[in-house]
Copies of this chain bind each other. A is one copy, B any other.
C-alpha cells in the first residue's frame, strides 16, 4: 500500500509529549481522566494529534498563570464556539470579560512585583558593595 504525504498526519506518543513539555505521563493521563484531553487509540495505546498537543500547550500555559484545570477547560472551550445558542454565546462573552479582568489584574501585579524585585536587587548589590569595602 502506498501513501501520499497529505495522508500522513502528525502523531505523538505520550512519552514524546511528556519529554517535550517536561511533565510526567501521569499528568497527561490525569488531564485525560478529568476530560481535558481525549486522544485516539491504537489498540490501548494513546495517540495524540497536533490538536491534542495544542490543547496540552494551552493547559500548561494556564497552569503557569495559576488557572485551575477546571477553568482551563472552560477557557479552552471558548476558542471553539460550536455553540449556536444565543444564551450560551452571551455567557461566553461574559466569561471572556471576566477572564480579561483577571488577566489585567495579574498584569498589574506582575509589574508591581517586578518593580519590587528591581528594588530588592539594587539593595542587595548596594549591600554587597559596602560589604566589600
Contact = CB atoms under 8 A, between A and B. Distances in A.
Contact of A84 (B96, B99, B110, B131): B131
Interface string A57-70: 00001111111000
Given A86-B132, A103-B110, A106-B106, 7 more contacts: A62-B113, A64-B105, A66-B66, A78-B117, A86-B131, A97-B121, A103-B114
Contacts of A112: 61
Given A64-B106, A86-B131, A109-B64, A99 B117 contact: yes
A128 interface: yes
Nearest to A92: B124
A113 B64 contact: no
Interface of A: 61-67, 75, 78-79, 81, 84, 86, 89-90, 92-93, 96-97, 99-100, 103, 105-107, 109-110, 112-114, 116-117, 119-121, 123-125, 127-128, 131-132
B120 A81 contact: yes
